[in-house]
Amino acid sequence: MKRFLAILLGLIMIISLSACGNKGGNNSPSSSVTPPEESEVNIDDTFTRTSKTLVVYFSKTNTTESVAKLIQSETGADIFEIERKEPYPDAYTPTTEVAKDEKDANARPELKTYLPKDVIAGYDTIFVGFPIWWGTAPMPVLSFLNFYDLSGKTIYTFCTAASSPISGSTADIRSNAIGANVVEGKRFSRSDENGIKSWIASLNLSQPDTPDIPDTPDVPDTPTEATASLTYERNDDGYTVTGENENVENIIIPAEYNGLPVTEIGESAFAYSRHNEDILSVTIPDSVTMIALNAFYNRDEMTTVTIGQNSQLTTIGRNAFSGNSSLKAIYIPSGVTDIGDSAFNNDGAINFTVAEANAVYRSENGHLIETATNTLIRGGQSANVPESVTSIAQAAFRRSAITEIYIPASVTAIGNYFIADSSVTVINFGGTEEQWNAIEKGRMWNYGKTDTEVKFKGEAAKILVVYFSGSGNTERVAGYIAETTGGTLFELVPVTPYTSADLNWTNSNSRVVREHNDESLRDIPLEKVTPVGFTEYDVVFIGYPIWWGIAAWPVNNFVKNNDFSGKTVIPFATSSSSGMGQSGELLYDMTKTGNWLGGQRFSSGASKSTVETWVNGLNLAA
């Protein structure tokens, strides 16, 4: 684990299984480990493969298990639990000790049961889940990977941890899954159903094979289960899906109908005006080349659109996915060359992923951009329009749920209905007022939003620098920031201040260690939660030391008890070796208000010039 107040670098704390360790651990490649023969272990010969996808997981406290089961439900995968033959101790501390010994010895503990090797051979995709123990995956996970030939398979990792990132385990997974394509996945702090669904949707996994279609052209005698609910019309290349004839929540469009390819989803085929039942998801086969005008218009309840990486899709029509506020992610394949106006005009915010090979469009930070013209077609979930954008298309943020956005000074044109019917209340422009006025704007660019405030780079922002400091390092950096910006300092002081003894992380009975081990103790009352005139500040810096990979918890009450709406919030941290990690994101989750930037980590001895350089690069004040 990375230390948070240490003097000497490289020391590892023996406190938490879920704390950060040295990236990559110390596990050697699998070539140094000899797996047992199939005849030497207990094989589960009752397991039956029903899918091309498998979810395997190791779970000590059921957290990883719950995430694994959600993934299974979203993918239709098979599932298998990795269990150590000799269970780990029930008590926390003994488990940490055994896990540490196994890691140090690069051990491969025997498992309770294994799947037959011929069963594993039948899977194309394997999800591998685990808690983070000593900065990496528990050794039983590596025992499982070592046992099989995983050549040619795609492995998606996922983990559970209070604060540790998944990145530290990736090298170990790759070195023990020889020949597999290991894709680093996500860390989940809890069973986040929406987050898991969004991640799965972004992977654009291929769907199960569609049932065989009877070879009876032009005579759809007895439709199969896959086609029974859908209606079709013949087109020049095959068939167009025109709608459905019964209520179906999860639509799977087949690749073929009557022996011919399904090439189009027709105009208003599944629009709410034609179908009043809920449609939760749709799977679009690789054969479809066009999604027509209003195809899924106003399907507010639809959460998932699955488009494969080998899709032949070229056209997404006007308003095709407009009014889909529950849709959080979508994949744009390489062949798409035409996206109609307002195709993704939604009340929510969609994260876009565009195939790297696409020659017309690209995605940056979740935004959809036309490459040749650097035009923002549709804003994603991020509040910051990329600096590469030079123009903004019609309705790019129309109906968006984002409250505050940043527009770079590179933008010279903004289309009609840019922020119409949206939640946007503040626009932060990267240039001067003169530059803003020079932008060519559509006559109704702010239709219905004439009260939206525009702030300019040339206007000095009122700045507040909030900080908690344990040993004085964060206090010093906060002072540099206040000096550079002309901001006001506000120290977060616990009602019961921390003493040097309290902060002694090497003492298992110290206050900070007890608080780390028991999350219920981390609600730290502050002498003052809100500074005078807080509502008047435009920018709020929040500083803290890194404790066990997260923000020192005395800052939590400040974040939870204040409304940051309309403010730019910039976290900064100090540590001897640990990075920022997800500390800023976790703090944002406590408030869900304000425009939070990525922030910066400073070393314990950071100089004034280093801090000044960072602050000046933010362009917060004249």
**395, 344 Cβ separation under 8 angstroms:** no
Token pair 């951009």 is at which residue? 369
Output DSSP code: residue 228: T
State whether residue 194 is helix, strand or coil. Answer: helix
Q: How far apart are CA 599 and CA 583, in angstroms?
A: 10
Q: Which CATH number fits domain 230-456: 3.80.10.10, 3.40.190.10, 2.60.40.1220, 3.20.20.100?
A: 3.80.10.10
How many other C-beta atoms are found inside a 10 Å radius of the C-beta of residue 58? 24
Mean pLDDT per 10-residue interval, the chain, length 622 residues: 36 36 35 74 88 92 86 89 92 82 88 93 92 88 92 88 72 83 79 77 58 32 51 93 83 91 93 70 93 91 89 94 87 94 82 91 90 93 83 90 85 92 86 91 88 75 91 93 91 94 90 91 92 87 93 95 90 84 87 86 87 83 45
Say which residue the tokens 């921390």 belong to: 498
Distance CA 199, CA 303 (A): 12
Q: Which residues pair with 186 in a beta bridge?
A: 158
The helix or strand, by DSSP H or E, that contains position 436, with its residue range, turns out to be helix 433-438
> What gap in Å lies between CA 108 and CA 140, rounded to an integer?
6
What percent helix, strand, coil does the chain show, rounded to 5? 20, 25, 55
Contact 241, 262 (CB under 8 A): yes
How far is Cα 538 from Cα 90, in angstroms, rounded to an integer?
A: 50
Q: Do 282 and 305 meet the contact criterion of CB atoms below 8 Å apart?
A: yes
The CATH code of the domain at 463-617 is 3.40.50.360
For residue 216, how far is the Cα from the chain centroid?
Answer: 46
Neighbours of 477 (CB within 10 A): 28
Do the domains at 30-203 and 230-456 have one common CATH topology?
Answer: no
What's the order of all strands across the beta sheet hosting 453-456?
Answer: 404-407, 426-429, 453-456
Residue 346: the pLDDT is 81
Segments making up each domain of the chain, as ranges: 30-203, 230-456, 463-617
Q: Domain 30-203: give its CATH superfamily.
A: Flavodoxin domain (3.40.50.360)
pLDDT of residue 217: 32
Q: Show the tokens assigned to 45.
A: 């010969």
Q: Are strands 315-316 and 290-291 parallel, antiparallel or unpaired?
A: parallel
Whose tokens are 């040993």? That residue is 471
Cα radius of gyration rounded to whole Å, the chain:
27
- HSE value, Cβ hemisphere, 13 Å, CA-based, for 415: 16
| DSSP conformation class of 184 | E
Rounded CA separation 60/107 (Å)? 18
Q: What is the pLDDT of residue 457?
A: 67
Q: Residues near 83 by Cβ (< 8 Å), separated by ≥ 6?
A: 58, 111, 112, 113, 140
Residues with Cβ within 8 Å of residue 290, at least 6 apart in sequence: 263, 264, 265, 313, 314, 315, 317
